[in-house]
């Protein structure tokens, strides 16, 4: 795994995210509400911002968040059991299609999508709920 990097300041995040800064905070809060305290591990990235944030709970990565201009890129990997739960859930059809088209790897199926609307936080919440569903 690549080395960690210095976390951005709140001003740096606000500068790139603009109106999506509130969305960023909402996504982090959702993870904390569902799991308790989450660690924010910053890694180097080839994205415009140059860094990606891994939201982790007890060393388990829940979400990968990449700040971008006026939007947040979200990546999530679901194992086969969670993938089946996702396909049977009320997630939007576009998200289900991304998962069904994602190549299955040992660690699961991963998707990446961008969001710029607080209305889409419910989708992120459902994804995290599925990921943390006990066996």
Tens-digit pLDDT profile for residues 36-64: 999 999 999 988 899 999 999 999 999 99
Contact 63, 27 (CB under 8 A): yes
Look up residue 2 and give its DSSP letter. P
Contact 2, 42 (CB under 8 A): no
Residue whose C-alpha is closest to residue 63's, from 127, 135, 134: 127
Question: In whole angstroms, what is the distance from residue 38 CA to residue 56 CA?
Answer: 5
Q: pTM of the full predicted structure?
A: 0.93
**Annotation: CATH topology of 10-132:** 3.90.1150
Per-state percent for the chain, helix, strand, coil, to nearest 5? 45, 30, 30
């Amino acid at each position: 795994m690549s080395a960690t990097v210095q976390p951005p300041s709140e001003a740096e995040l606000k500068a790139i995210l603009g109106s999506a800064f509130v969305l960023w905070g909402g996504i982090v809060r959702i993870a904390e509400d569902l799991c308790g305290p989450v660690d924010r591990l910053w890694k180097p990235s080839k994205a415009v911002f140059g860094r990606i944030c891994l939201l982790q709970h007890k060393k388990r990565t829940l979400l990968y968040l990449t700040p971008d201009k006026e939007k947040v890129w979200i990546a999530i990997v679901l194992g086969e059991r969670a993938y089946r739960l996702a396909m049977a859930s009320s997630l939007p059809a576009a998200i289900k299609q991304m998962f069904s088209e994602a190549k299955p790897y040992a660690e699961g199926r991963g998707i990446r999508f961008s969001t710029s609307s607080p209305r889409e936080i419910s989708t992120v919440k459902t994804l995290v709920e599925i990921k943390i569903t006990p066996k």
